[in-house]
């Protein structure tokens, strides 16, 4: 069963989404050469606390970080570490918070002094894929209409779409039904209904769509070690346009 949120629960989802977005943006604004993702992660933890929230990631299936920070060939689930950020890095910052019992989950990809036009195209296409996915996320459509909209943008731009990790329902738990793949034919899967809350999160790779998990048990990297980008919003399904909760 896919949950339909009550008005009260939706208010909590809104509040949680706002906090997640604030943390995402404040971390993103601090990404510059010399800073470490571990420093940013500690900053994020402090900010969450100040805003009355806690990390939804820390301890999730044993995940050791407060946020995920995935640099260059890392696609998602990168663990914050002590390596200083360098000019030319692209960094996916994924933030999940729990507040009033509900979770907001959102990610952005930041380019730090990137001058490679292909990398800029990759990041722009991933952002555009998220927008297309959100555009297809409306009551009456089916889950795979979102998937198809995302894949179409990626294919058009000539990038690989990661298939091993997907978007998801989100609410009192981080990963709820339904799964929201970033690929597939339209018109399949569960019917979208007003009041459902889902996280839409395209992951696009410069090269092959294939990924590996590093020995740390978490970091997902592209098999060809070329860069990847990742954007994510938590949204509420509506009769018309979806409401983006992580803004
Ligand atoms: N936020 C990720 C997602 O978008 C999941 C992170 S799992 C964790 O689904 F274990 F790293 F927290
Ligand atoms: Co996320
Ligand atoms: Co997610």
3-state secondary structure the chain: CCCCCCHHHHHHHHHHHHHHHHHHHHHHHCCCCCCEHHHHHHHHHHHHHHCCCEECCCCHHHCCCCCEEEECCEEECCCCCCCECCCCCEEEEEEEEEECCEEEEEEEEEECCCCCHHHHHHHHHHHHHHHHHHHCCCECEEHHHHHHHHHHHHHHHCCEECCCCCEEECCCCCCEEEEECCCCCCCCCCECCCCCEEEECCEEECCCCCEEECCCCCCEEECCCCCEEECEEEEECCCCCCEECCC
Q: Omega into 34 within 30° of 0, i.e. cis? A: no
Largest CA distance in the chain: 48
Taking the centre of ligand 3 as the mean of its atom positions, its distance from the CA of residue 186, in whole angstroms, is: 21
Domain spans, the chain: 7-244
CATH code 3.10.20.600 for 7-244? no
Q: Which residues line ligand 1 (CB under 6 A)?
A: 57, 60-61, 63, 68, 77, 94, 96, 105, 199, 201, 232
Cα distance between residue 182 and residue 191, in whole Å: 16
Closest residue CA from atom 8 of ligand 1: 57
pLDDT in tens, 129-157: 999 999 999 999 999 999 999 999 999 99
- Give the mean pLDDT per block of 10 residues along the chain (247 residues): 97 98 99 98 99 98 98 99 98 99 99 98 99 99 98 98 98 98 98 98 98 98 98 98 98
Cα distance between residue 186 and residue 11, in whole Å: 31
Query: Could you identify the atom of ligand 1 that is nearest to the CA of residue 57?
Result: 12
pLDDT in tens, 215-232: 999 999 999 999 999 999
Cα distance between residue 158 and residue 125, in whole Å: 9
Cα distance between residue 64 and residue 246, in whole Å: 23
Cα distance between residue 100 and residue 5, in whole Å: 14
Query: Could you identify the atom of ligand 1 that is nearest to the CA of residue 95?
Result: 1
């Amino acid at each position: 069963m896919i949950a339909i949120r009550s008005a009260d629960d939706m208010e909590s989802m809104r509040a949680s989404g706002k906090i997640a977005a604030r943390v995402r943006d404040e971390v993103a604004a601090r990404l510059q050469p010399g800073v470490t993702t571990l420093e940013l992660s500690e900053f994020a933890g402090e900010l969450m606390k100040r805003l009355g929230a806690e990390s939804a990631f820390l301890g999730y299936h044993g995940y050791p970080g407060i946020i995920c920070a995935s640099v260059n060939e890392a696609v998602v689930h990168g663990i914050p570490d002590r390596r200083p950020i360098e000019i030319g890095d692209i960094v996916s910052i994924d933030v999940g918070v729990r507040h009033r019992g509900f979770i907001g989950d959102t990610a952005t990809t930041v380019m730090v002094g990137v001058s490679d036009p292909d990398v800029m195209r990759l990041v722009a296409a991933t952002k555009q894929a998220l927008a297309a996915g959100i555009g297809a996320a409306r009551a009456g459509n089916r889950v795979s209409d979102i998937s198809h909209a995302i894949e179409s943008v990626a294919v058009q731009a000539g990038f690989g779409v990661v298939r091993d990790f997907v978007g998801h329902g989100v609410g009192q738990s981080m990963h709820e039904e339904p799964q929201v793949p970033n690929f597939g034919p339209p018109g399949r899967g569960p019917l979208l209904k007003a009041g459902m809350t889902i996280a839409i999160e395209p992951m696009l790779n410069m090269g092959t769509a294939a990924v590996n998990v590093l020995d740390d048990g978490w970091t997902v990297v592209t098999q060809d070690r070329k860069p990847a980008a990742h954007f994510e919003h938590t949204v509420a399904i509506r009769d018309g346009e979806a409401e983006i909760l992580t803004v």
